Structure 1
Amino acid sequence: KIRKQDATSTINSIASNVVGQSLAWDFIRGNWRTLFTQYGGGSFSFSRLILSVTQRFSSEFELQQLEQFKKDNQDIGFGSGTRALEQALERTRANIIWVKENQATVLEWFENEIKSR
């Protein structure tokens, strides 16, 4: 069992792993109301939680999920994570643009590196 005070660091640790990130995001989306109700008044860092789980977002699908998450939870709110959520939306949009602008160049570089070995 995970202690209440360790919940943030546990979720953040899971989110720091490429495979674990989607699991943590699914958990947060599915349990936001409970998390916010149980931890909203304490020292629980919603800001850190949102930033860590969304740090690698770079697709339209992830942006849509993030926008839907914001819409679905407007009534309960985001506490200390309000600004972090806006930053996550901005960063995801910027990452999408970066991928669109650089995907071909990065792919070409990888292909050339593989050929030269």
Structure 2
Amino acid sequence: MRKDVFYLRILFAVKMLFKYIRDAVKELGFVTWPKNDVLIRHSFIVLAVTLLFAAAFWLVDGGMRYLVAQYIEATAPFHGTGTTLPETASGVNLGDIQVSGAGTDGIQIENLPVTPAGN
């Protein structure tokens, strides 16, 4: 493409942009703006509906969190034993975990100290 055609296209695009802005400002003159009392009333309605939906989502979220916690508690027999691995325990030797079959549900877990592999 030649330079003069390129510059003409740029000039046309800028001209169209300014025409669009000029027409948009002109159209804003035709808008019927609400009175202050209507604007304030509608703002309070929007605020009330927003708070209502926020409270509803908060309740649903809390209820779902409670139900999931109850499900985990009911289905995980060893959940909440107080034994937690440190976040840096990626090199844990699996030989540290021993299972023997003497518990009421057929499995008994014996917690041993966690030591990094190779130590």
**TM-score (ref. length: structure 1):** 0.27
Higher relative contact order structure (alpha carbons within 8 Å, sequence separation ≥ 6): 1
- Larger relative helix fraction: 1
- Larger relative strand fraction: 2
Q: Which has the larger radius of gyration?
A: 2
